[in-house]
Chain A
């Protein structure tokens, strides 16, 4: 077993070597511009892009013409929300989204609000982090032009009832954008069945290269139109100008194909590792709490709060395992995870959270090692924790007058 272990597969994933193999010829040998219509170099590149588009569209049950290549999911989210608003602002400027969206959606919404271009409703989530479709329905006004709700959350893995939201959007004639960055390639996604009109996703989350993503833009029932956010050569049906990064797109296509073909076996394997990790940790350590939905969750996701110990110190104690924490100390901001806060998780438990992200290349041996390490470090840090000591003495920590600083 090689150290350090990568258990942060929600942040990014290692590229599959099979993906790299397909990309390699498109750097030096087949370098053409896919927009060059008049020579063999261009045709060769265009053909490769077409094949990738086909593979990507197949994974999500879309038409190839509905795939718009972007630099990644952040750009896709921006393009979807800003592009729709600009196109349909005569109809209305109200947007509905949820409080646990990725910052690419939340900050886009906030920036539009700040500029006075839109009004935004941020829907609450339940204690598992799930959006209630009825809340979506109730938030709709005659000015609503877009609903943007994510498929699966990047911190807690909770999967939203997207299909129900899609139905509501369709019935009301409102466009539905879904940030499916964490879901595509991991769980079945069908834009038709789910009633999705626009969908953001990314290559590097599914063992493809970084720097490329896509926005699915529905072509009929209804035909969705966007105002491009970048001016230029009018690539991607005028929605996203810029020369296509052919090698990245080829890799993205291959990554999607692998996910489609291997999803069933991969999901079974990853879920088994995740369930084993969860069971072993929660059995060995009292007061370890699952964050997120107990069943409606990404197969590779596990987010746990370990009461009385702080997240960053946990990560520091497990330096040879790459993980992430909802603790404020690990980020530039002083507030702990807004996602966990939106679930109603107490601030102190939010500070104590660790996110495990299991992926394609993790092994049972790595999971065993992680279990041992987690139990060891949590036990050690609890011995060091004045809060644990007080709790053991029977002090109700909530009754203590803390001097907040």
Chain B
């Protein structure tokens, strides 16, 4: 199977690869997938004043999974929390020219974004609850 140039580029030069400390202020962490399915994505966002100022990923998976999560971190940066929730897997498919057998990689990336946002929201809500 031939990979698109964009997949190859993200694979060879992953953007924002790494981790934040999970308990740090403003961090949302999403971990999706399962080792037995051959892909696990960890996506983290750092939010300040409702804006995602930084994002990081680590992915166990095929080249397309790595590229999907790398691309997701690029797109997340600078977006508001609400805007980030609107990123769709189909956008990723289109940007990376993913073939049908690799669509699940983009779905996983969308799930990872949603999970990171939900985790951020949960932590923010808890914090608000505590200070009340």
Q: Which residues of A come within 8 Å of B, CB atoms?
A: 308-310, 312-313, 316-317, 327-329, 332, 336, 346-348, 351, 383-389, 397, 402-405
Contact = CB atoms under 8 A, between A and B. Distances in A.
Contacts of B108: 405
A386 B31 contact: yes
A347 B36 contact: yes
Given A310-B62, A327-B62, A384-B17, 11 more contacts: A308-B60, A310-B61, A316-B8, A329-B38, A348-B38, A386-B58, A387-B40, A388-B60, A389-B19, A404-B36, A405-B111
Given A386-B60, A397-B35, A316 B19 contact: no
B41 interface: yes
A109 to B, nearest CB: 27
Contact of A313 (B17, B31, B63): B63
B32 interface: yes
A348 B39 contact: no
B34 A402 contact: yes
B36 A313 contact: no
B interface, over-half SS: mixed
Contacts of A383: 17
B46 interface: no
Nearest to B111: A405
A405 B38 CA distance: 10
Nearest to A317: B11
B104 interface: yes
A312 B62 CA distance: 5
B66 interface: yes
A272 B5 CA distance: 38
Interface in B1-56: 3, 8, 11, 14, 17, 19, 31-42
B34 A404 contact: yes
A351 B19 CA distance: 24
